[in-house]
Amino acid sequence: MKAKAIGKVSKAVIPVAGLGTRFLPVTKAVAKEMIPIIDKPMIHYIVEEAVASGIEDIVLVTSRHKNEIQRYFDYNAELEDRLMNSGKADLAAGLKAIAESCNIICAYQKEPAGLGHAVGCARPVIGDHPFAVLLGDDLIDAPVPCTRQLMDVFEERGTSVVGVMEVPLADVSKYGIVGGTSLDERTLKIDRMVEKPKPDEAPSRFAIPGRYVVDPAIFRHISETRPGKGGEIQFTDALAALAQDEGLLSYRFDGNRYDTGDRLGYLEATLVFGLRRPELRDGLIRLMKSHLPS
């Protein structure tokens, strides 16, 4: 029996169980998602996007070795009291706000069996509700949160939707690429999904960077997806099955995406967000100019 979506989207899944090998050696001791952009860890920005989109319950799919993420979003009464007693009420309030922003629920992925498997681990918490999926490697800076844009499409059309961005033809081999029938200038009805195609085999230049809003029927397709390379269950394979059965849309979101799972993308995001901070902007510009070749 197919799962039936109940109500509006108020839940999200954020997979954070990965090993973060592209950031070794620091990720030997620190979860990749806890590496800061300025003074907030990457995962903070992802959770902020979900909360700003109207998400109330967030499922962090994690591993037993990454409890620092859960601790970050929990209360720290001792630290808050010390800040209050030392006259740093604003800092104390900021820490408390992190813990109060939403309900954080942890689900554990006992083995690294792929993104599809990770999302499937959230099924006992999500149940028969539609939900968003946000990947922690992708920071999307947008006037309207990217997840909110996809939620609006889902709630208007009643069909699962993935966020896409247009990339240069030379870069299509780095992404999952969608193809299908155009419904409007931003929306596509997907009939093909190709993982990292060659440029001459790509169905379009629309790439999926890591934002989804899906019907709970996706769980059935995940359970029916056979492991692929490395014994991993690919989320893309489950989405392709969902597209054929229940239907799937893509939506070209408005916003700028930074691949913070890549070292250069991480540095770019750090610079962009640093330049927006009034207390850092002038000093950062001076530093960059001082290191440029004369």
Residues 219-256: tens digit of each pLDDT: 999 999 988 777 889 899 999 999 999 999 999 999 99
Cβ(42)–Cβ(260) under 8 Å?
Answer: yes
108-155 pLDDT, tens digit each: 888 878 899 999 999 999 999 999 999 988 999 999 999 999 999 999
CB atoms within 10 A of CB 8: 12
* Alpha carbon distance 21, 180 (integer Å): 34
Task: Please count the CA atoms within 13 angstroms of the CA of 115 that sit on its side-chain side.
Answer: 17
* Alpha carbon distance 12, 122 (integer Å): 9
Cβ(3)–Cβ(216) under 8 Å?
Answer: yes
Res 5: pLDDT = 47
Which range (28-32, 139-143, 164-168, 200-204) has the least confidence?
A: 28-32
Domains and CATH numbers, the chain: 11-261 (3.90.550.10)
Burial of 271 (0-12, 13-18, 19+ CB in 10 A): middle
Average pLDDT, the chain: 89
16 pLDDT more than 50: yes
Q: Which amino acid is at 100?
A: E
161 vs 87: which has the higher pLDDT: 161
Q: What is the pTM of this model?
A: 0.89
